[in-house]
Structure 1
Amino acid sequence: MKRTILFSLLFFVCMAITAQTRTVTDMAGRKVSLPTTVNKVFTDRFISLMAFALDEEMLCNSTFSVPDAGQKYISKAYCDKPLAETNAEEILKLRPDVILLSFLDDDDRETAEGMQAKLHIPVLLLKFELPQYREAYTFLGQALNRPASANRIIDFLDKYIIPLNGQTKKIAKRPTVYYAEGNRGLNTEAAESLHSQVIDYLNARNVAQVKTGSIHGMAAVSIEQILQWQPDVIVAWSGFPAGMDLPKIAKKELTTREYILTDAVWQQVAAARNKKVHQVPALPFGWIDRPPSSNCLSGVLWLAKQLYPENVSFDLNAALKEYFRLFYHVEITDKDIAYLINN
């Protein structure tokens, strides 16, 4: 009799535990047991803004400082979160229900398995390149029990972002583009780099014939190479985000765009000479990359208008207002947009 009661108790305990958890398959194909209710998530730097868009209160850490000039353009909830990377002590202190990590290759899968075993916190791997955003937000909405928020974002992607990929693919004459980074524009990103994915997504032709390099990009090139490539358009980077732990760029008076437009050697490049040099907006984060996360979606909207002014007809201001509302949880005005784009 006692044995029967004991087995019954164990059965009901197991059923209660099972009812509080569920199994999902992440975007790396890993089966992960999650709590039924997810209140707090910790992310790495590439997933931070994606998770923040889904629920500004759910994210428990930030991964980049927001410059003072940019704090008007993102919810205070992000600015107030503690800066924390994937350090075990920091993660345990914040006590998340789930950890979200970016997924690019098998090394990331091993990292996730190791972290999950060490911390006893479920770890999900998430794809985060532009063509994967619809799939990513569908997965996040289901895994984190935020279907309404995810559906609003997916509707935005379907309305503005995904059509631009298809429309620009059909344009017969697409421009060649050089992405100018560094003090003098002599660093760049190859096609298929995380840092040039906005150019790729809009089906423009990246002229840079260089190796992709490290995760941070910034491949060095010579002015002689650029003179040979002769791009139709130059896109000038927005710089590193505040607090990014990378080699420092020396301070200077001229921006990269200003240097390109005034340097005598650069004037041998037709795009520079004809002032076809577009400055990437930088607030609250770079609109093309730095980081290569959901901030790139604003870059898709902006760059489409720069590269294909006669071929795309959507209302840029309306799209950006919706973007800032969904992803940064703030309302912006036409005046704000003019400032963001022109400064």
Structure 2
Amino acid sequence: MADRSRRSFLRTMGLGLGGVLVLDGCGDAAPSAAAGLEVTDQRGTTLRLDHPARRVVTIPMPAASLLIAVDQGVQRIAGMHQASWTAIQKGILGEIFPAAKEIPHAVAGQDFSPNVESVLALDPDLIVQWADEGTGVIAPLENAGLTVLGLKYGTQRDLESWIALFAAALGKPGRGQEMLARMHQNLAQWSSDVRRAAKPSMLYLNRFTEGLKVATHNTYNDYCIKLIGAVNPATGANGLQGEGMAAVDIEQVLAWDPDVVLLGNFDDAVPDDVYRSRAWKDTRAVRDRRVYKVPLGGYRWDPPSHESPLMWRWLSMVAAPGEERFDLRAEIKDSYRFFYNHETTGAQLDRILWSDINNGSAGYEQFHGA
């Protein structure tokens, strides 16, 4: 992947990934009212804005925190999805930007169906919505006369498109270039065939408390596990058919017997829930105390976001405790200066990394502060 960095960067800011920006001047200079700007979304639909977006409603869950990182503030977010708001409440963005806690969040249902009346009341000039959830989630908004930026989900390429699109829509192409260059620099350190003495088996659970759901083919979680040189049993030789998050029973997990279990941030499960479960007691991950809650920073680290390079490093260190000597806490601090113009405290770093609830899991001392 190292040799794709420059090519990917050029495609992203050009025609390849969407996010086409037409404006007067260069850098982050705002276009004139007469010139406006154009953004081509992931549907292939070209949107024309008279000026950079000033009031944005975000419905896709990762979109709010990504927009905050591009803009380094919350002043242009008029509304967001409930799940985005919950992540801000549970994470540290609510501390960094207290006004984020007051942003309206009754804009859509859990299935992303928009609450058009609520959205209209926010007087937005741009709505960010999924473009791959069927026409029923976009058409009601466009029928109401609203401008909708459509996103697709799941791949690294999609994530890079989001960054370029948001930077374009906000009139900050230079900021988008900086974010992409930083991500590509991180990505260049990894290869799809990372050499490890052993490739641990890592199972990601999107849900635990009310039925098990695992990441299968064409999920970002599967991509990340393979990126850092581990294997996902749900997509291996004895894995599942189909794509996305799939329901499984404990018998299937026992058959896979993963080395590592990752608990996502879409329910409240913690490692102790797994360690205390009689059903899980014979799994290798439990015997070796290798169950970990995925970090929650500016957004959940499970799905793709601008913080994904931090997830890649955390995942690699969890996969092989002691093999990598890397100061992830220092990298988080540096990243948060860049994303949020914020100096992260030691207590905040502990919260991001779930240091308290992961403390009983093997090797987690590598993430502790001095």
Question: Any gaps of 5 or more consecutive residues in structure 1?
Answer: 1-16, 241-248, 250-254
Superposed counterparts of 1:212-231, under 5 Å: 217=245, 219-231=246-258
Counterpart residue number, 1:8: none
**Cross-structure match for 2:28:** none
Q: How does 1:284-323 map to 2 (within 5 A)?
A: 285-289=299-303, 293-294=305-306, 296-309=308-321, 314-323=326-335
Please tell me the root mean square deviation across aligned C-alpha atoms, in Å: 3.2
Among 156, 168, 178, the residue aligned to 1:152: 178
How many Å apart are 1:169 and its aligned residue? Answer: 2.8
Whether 1:281 aligns to 2:305 is: no
Residue 62 of structure 2 is aligned to residue 62 of structure 1: no
CA distance in 1, matches of 2:51, 2:253: 54
Which of residues 75, 83, 90 is equivalent to 2:118? 90
TM-score for the superposition, normalised by structure 1 = 0.75
Q: Partners of 2:94 and 2:149 in 1: how far apart?
A: 31
| Aligned match of 2:69 | 53
SS at match of 1:36: coil
Indicate whether 1:192 and 2:218 are aligned.
Answer: yes
Higher helix share: 1
What TM-score, normalized by structure 2, do the two folds share? 0.70
Partner of 1:233: 260
Counterpart-to-counterpart distance in 2, 1:88 and 1:278: 39
Q: Distance in 1 between matches of 2:115 and 2:278?
A: 47
Change (3 A) 1:40 1:71: closer
Alpha carbons of structure 1 residues 38 and 328: separation in structure 2 relative to 1, 3 Å? same
Task: Determine if contact 1:73/1:324 at 8 Å carries over to the other structure.
Answer: no
Q: Distance in 2 between matches of 1:130 and 1:310?
A: 29
Aligned residues: 304
**2:154: which partner in 1?**
129
Equivalent-residue separation in structure 1 for 2:210 and 2:34 (angstroms):
59
SS at match of 1:205: coil
CA distance in 2, matches of 1:167, 1:315: 21
Residues 135-154 of structure 1: CA distance to partner in whole angstroms, max 9, x if unpaired? Answer: 33223323331123223322
Distance in 2 (alpha carbons) for counterparts of 1:222 and 1:170 = 31
The structural deviation recorded for 1:260 is 2.2
Which runs of 5 or more structure 2 residues have no equivalent in the other structure? 1-31, 108-113, 357-370
Name the CA shift for 1:322/1:87 in 2 (closer, same or farther; >3 Å): farther
Partner Cα separation in structure 2 for residue 135 and residue 239 of structure 1: 24
The Cα of 1:191 is off from its aligned counterpart by 3.4
Task: Tell me the distance in 2 between the aligned counterparts of 1:120 and 1:320.
Answer: 41
- Aligned with 1:102 (options 118, 122, 130): 130
Deviation at residue 196 of structure 1 after TM alignment: 5.1
Q: In the alignment, is the contact (CA less than 8 A) between 1:185 and 1:260 conserved in 2?
A: no
Alignment match, 1:261: 275
- 1:332 lines up with 2:344 in the alignment: yes
Task: Tell me, in whole angstroms, the C-alpha distance in 1 between the residues paired with 2:192 and 2:330.
Answer: 20
Structure having the higher Rg: 1
Provide the residue aligned with 2:50 in structure 1. Answer: 35
Match 1:76 to one of 98, 103, 119 = 98
- Residues in 2 aligned to 1:298 and 1:83: alpha-carbon distance in whole angstroms: 27
Quote the Cα distance in structure 2 between the aligned partners of 1:263 and 1:184.
14
Instruction: Give 3-state SS (helix, strand or coil) of 1:32's partner.
Output: strand
Q: Residue in 2 aligned with 1:169?
A: 193
How far residue 186 of structure 1 moved from its aligned partner, in angstroms, is 3.6
